[in-house]
A and B are shown apart, each in its own frame.
Chain A
Amino acid sequence: DTEVTQTPKHLVMGMTNKKSLKCEQHMGHRAMYWYKQKAKKPPELMFVYSYEKLSINESVPSRFSPECPNSSLLNLHLHALQPEDSALYLCASSQEGVRLANYNEQFFGPGTRLTVL
């Protein structure tokens, strides 16, 4: 299985809602990533998990809360989002490198298209 899956494909939520995005991979990768992508722009890194521990948080607002329950799963919990948070949210995974030096390519999921009303 060389696939990263993401659910749901589309999500519409109000500013007071709480929702979660899910990501799963079964490639044995120990590095997992969340990105945010606006239309016609490159992906912006949000979080990196390495061996189920948060290793990078790119100063993301606390209304986004990541969780890595095990080596195959990555969640992104959403609460009190703003309309400007509407975007494509991409999950990715990669083989972890030696001594955290990671030269490996990332495999991306198809993304969740989030609309905040």
Chain B
Amino acid sequence: AQSVAQPEDQVNVAEGNPLTVKCTYSVSGNPYLFWYVQYPNRGLQFLLKYITGDNLVKGSYGFEAEFNKSQTSFHLKKPSALVSDSALYFCAVRDKNTGFQKLVFGTGTRLLVSP
């Protein structure tokens, strides 16, 4: 089965500091990985994806993620956090067993950025 794990329920960081939200994956074959953000009472917004190519992927709002095949990780990063980045972050993988139609989500990580 294709799956992703987010080991931290919550990450706290001070504004202006770098942030990392962790994600590890377990898939057979090549992984197709995504990061989404959800603000309170809103739908999910796409941040970035890794399909193939460069291991460092740049996305929306200054976020980037590094694909690491040897560590099976796809951590989300930002050099300088903003209070407005506080939200719920989901890592996800396209499920090969359904012809990649299904998106399998991690459990989510709440990011709190303090002023």
Stretch at the interface among B19-27, B42-50, B62-70, B78-86: B42-50
Q: Which residues of B contact A (CB under 8 A)?
A: 32, 34, 36, 41-46, 49, 51, 88, 90, 94, 98-103, 105-108, 110
Sorted nearest first, the 9 A-B pairs with minimum C-beta distance are A42-B105, A108-B43, A108-B44, A100-B99, A105-B46, A110-B43, A103-B32, A102-B100, A103-B51
From B45, B88, B90, B103, give the contact of A45 (CB < 8 A).
Answer: B103
**A75 within 8 A of partner (CB):** no
**A95 within 8 A of partner (CB):** no
8 Å CB interface, A42-59 against B: 42-43, 45, 48, 50, 55-56
Complex CA gap A94/B41 in Å reads 22
Q: For B32, what are the chain A residues with a Cβ–Cβ distance below 8 Å?
A: 103
Would you call A109 and B43 a contact (CB within 8 A)?
Answer: yes
Question: How many residues on A have C-beta within 8 angstroms of the other chain's C-beta atoms?
Answer: 30
Chain A residue nearest in CB terms to B52? A103
Give 11 new A-B contacts, CB below 8 A, not counting A42-B106, A106-B103, A108-B45: A31-B101, A40-B110, A43-B90, A56-B102, A88-B41, A92-B44, A100-B99, A100-B100, A101-B99, A106-B44, A108-B46
Complex CA gap A101/B102 in Å reads 10
Q: For B51, what are the chain A residues with a Cβ–Cβ distance below 8 Å?
A: 103
Chain A residue nearest in CB terms to B47? A105
